[in-house]
Structure 1
Amino acid sequence: MNLHALKVFYYVARNGNVTKASEELRISQPAVTQHVRNLEKELGIKLVKPEGRGISLTYAGNELYSLSGKLFAVEHEIEIRMNDIAVGKLGELTISATYLPATILLPKYIAMFKAKNEDVKINVVTGNSKEAFALLNSHKADVAIIGGGWELPNIHWEHLFDDELWFVVPPHHPLANREVSLHEMMEETFVIREDGSSTRERFLSMCRTFNVRQPKIGMQFNGLYETIKAVSAGYGANLISAMVVREFVDRGEVARVFVQNIDLRRPIAMCTVENNLLSPVAREFVQLIRDKLRVE
């Protein structure tokens, strides 16, 4: 069926008049009449009949008008939905994130984004750096927010800011609030993150760089807050993000150890797959983060 001819018929039927239909469609009256005749010929049935200065619908015409109204209502809804998707107001966004961005950074940015884009569905998958990159590379995530990590082939890495890493111990530990050498610090037993964690990799890399013993690992956890809780309960030392542990230090639940000549930082980055066109929703979210960090 010729859908353009059907739309012309719909306008004629709705107005009951060829003249008004031609004005709305911005085509000539003879063209309107010809489209209706062509549709009647295609369907093999009469759709309209003259009535006064206008037209009226036959039984078939009324049926077609009713059905075509539903069709063009769906067409209008499709146009609205597609436009909302195109401008980032509707869609789905999956973010893979390491623990620090997932708990400290993303909640506020997602709240800001949702306030303006309520109909966007957002999924956040939390894991270590290795897991976050795996989701991005397999196209199961649109964007990854990585605390630490490392630059990889085919990944566009956009540096956001740097996060300090602090050594912490239980509040009544002999090293609490003291300045010590790295060799002294490495005599301690550590609570450490799991394999694949960028903080763990940064820690081990530091040991190799300064030619000190690898950390003695007493406990291993798959999460930031678990390691802090273990230390605050009185066991071991930890190397951890300052952004995460600062509030625990301020409350006296753990204490810093100031290690001489060591200034450890790790990048917080926003990562996407190179040469991969982001969805409108992903583009909007990425731009929001850029804009907010620029003013902060």
Structure 2
Amino acid sequence: MQDFRLRVFHAVASHLSFTKAAAELFITQPAVSKNIHELESEFDIRLFERKGNKISLTAAGTILLNYTEQIIDVYKQIDFDLSVIKKKFSGRLELGASTTIGQYVLPQVLAKFYQSFPEIKLSLVNNNTEKIEAALLDKKIELGIVEGRTQNKQLKYTQFLKDELVAVVHTKNKLAKKDVITLAELQTTPLVLRERGSGTLEVVEHALQKHKIKLSQLHVAMYLGSTESIKSFLKHSNCISFISISAIANDAASGEFKIIDIEDFDIKRSFYFVHLQGKPSGLASTFMRFAAQHYNQKL
């Protein structure tokens, strides 16, 4: 962004902290204060309310933040479009991915994307689907890749990959002797599941509802925040869980975990690219196309 004062303002407005803005921009806190003071003097209006150690945006500050974010997007698009003309892609792209995707689906794509476009600086935030969508709405990231069924009307979703959740136990579990169990058996077996807000749990709940089964009717022993923590828990318990085939295939092939079929019950889902409504930026579009091609998918 050409006007450094707007960069400073955006950092302060995003963090609601002069200290954090200074750290983000690698400048001193007095320098942050000076730039904000110059903006307030130029516009002849206060942009922040200051109460003790806390600050908040004024109505004018909220308006300026909205325009500043639009300006940032325009500069990103300018960088990309000029890079296309020069056949040199550059810029910065902030990504967010739900936990399973960030850990098991994206790493190879990110590595190959970096090899193809070394001048594009990528950053990736991992969290559950609910929080990735919130980060998009807060404009903390530009593109998300999520799982789950809930779709926010302020966001646009584009199908990326198909996935399946499978029932899994550790091979030390007595259930590992079985290849198939019934839904009735599932209801009496201790379960460990992903946390509330995760796309995985949402999809599991929806699949169970089709069979008129509620989570409250199951024996849920634990809710955990990641697939890896669930796998570690399964190693030391007699529980069963639902895990993405992408996350468990290698472990099942090595013989550490076993995938068990459940009669007349399967859980299919999709992974989605998601961004704010409207056309994504050039960088976001490039990454979407690249990732889809990596998995031989069509957008």
Superposition TM-score, scaled by structure 2 size: 0.66
Contact 2:161–2:297 (CA<8 Å) still a contact in 1? no
Displacement of 1:242 in angstroms is 1.0
Displacement of 1:185 in angstroms is 1.1
Structure 2 partner of 1:30? none
* In structure 2, C-alpha distance between the alignment counterparts of 1:280 and 1:235, rounded to whole Å: 49
* In structure 1, C-alpha distance between the alignment counterparts of 2:291 and 2:80, rounded to whole Å: 25
* In structure 2, C-alpha distance between the alignment counterparts of 1:89 and 1:126, rounded to whole Å: 25
Change (3 A) 1:264 1:80: closer
- In structure 2, what residue type is equivalent to 1:270? F
Change (3 A) 1:295 1:195: closer
Are 2:239 and 1:240 equivalent residues in the alignment?
no
Q: Where do 1:87-166 residues align within 5 Å?
A: 89-166=89-166
Change (3 A) 1:293 1:249: closer
Displacement of 1:97 in angstroms is 0.3
Displacement of 1:127 in angstroms is 0.6
Change (3 A) 1:234 1:113: same
Structure 1 partner of 2:18? none
Displacement of 1:81 in angstroms is 9.5
Are 2:253 and 1:254 equivalent residues in the alignment?
no
Give secondary structure in 2 for the equivalent of 1:240. strand
Superposition TM-score, scaled by structure 1 size: 0.67
Paired residues in the alignment total: 217
Contact 2:80–2:282 (CA<8 Å) still a contact in 1? no
Change (3 A) 1:137 1:294: same
Structure 2 partner of 1:187? 188
Displacement of 1:80 in angstroms is 9.2
- In structure 2, what residue type is equivalent to 1:287? R
Change (3 A) 1:295 1:85: closer
- In structure 2, what residue type is equivalent to 1:138? D
Unaligned 5+ segments in structure 2 are: 1-77
Give secondary structure in 2 for the equivalent of 1:141. coil
Displacement of 1:173 in angstroms is 2.4
Which one is further off, 254-263 or 286-295?
Answer: 286-295
Structure 2 partner of 1:201? 202
Are 2:280 and 1:278 equivalent residues in the alignment?
yes
Change (3 A) 1:139 1:242: same
Give secondary structure in 1 for the equivalent of 2:275. strand
Q: Deviations over 1:174-230 (max 9, x none)?
A: 322421111111211111111101111222223332123523221221111110111
* In structure 1, C-alpha distance between the alignment counterparts of 2:193 and 2:113, rounded to whole Å: 34
Amino-acid identity (%):
19
Contact 2:81–2:282 (CA<8 Å) still a contact in 1? no
For the pair shown, the structure with the greater C-alpha radius of gyration is 1
Contact 1:88–1:284 (CA<8 Å) still a contact in 2? no
Contact 1:93–1:142 (CA<8 Å) still a contact in 2? yes
- In structure 2, what residue type is equivalent to 1:155? L
Displacement of 1:85 in angstroms is 7.9
Contact 2:166–2:243 (CA<8 Å) still a contact in 1? yes
Contact 1:166–1:256 (CA<8 Å) still a contact in 2? yes
Contact 2:100–2:247 (CA<8 Å) still a contact in 1? yes
Structure 1 partner of 2:267? 264
Structure 2 partner of 1:83? 82
Q: Deviations over 1:216-247 (max 9, x none)?
A: 22122111111011112234110111110111
Change (3 A) 1:282 1:295: closer
Unaligned 5+ segments in structure 1 are: 1-78
Change (3 A) 1:97 1:141: same
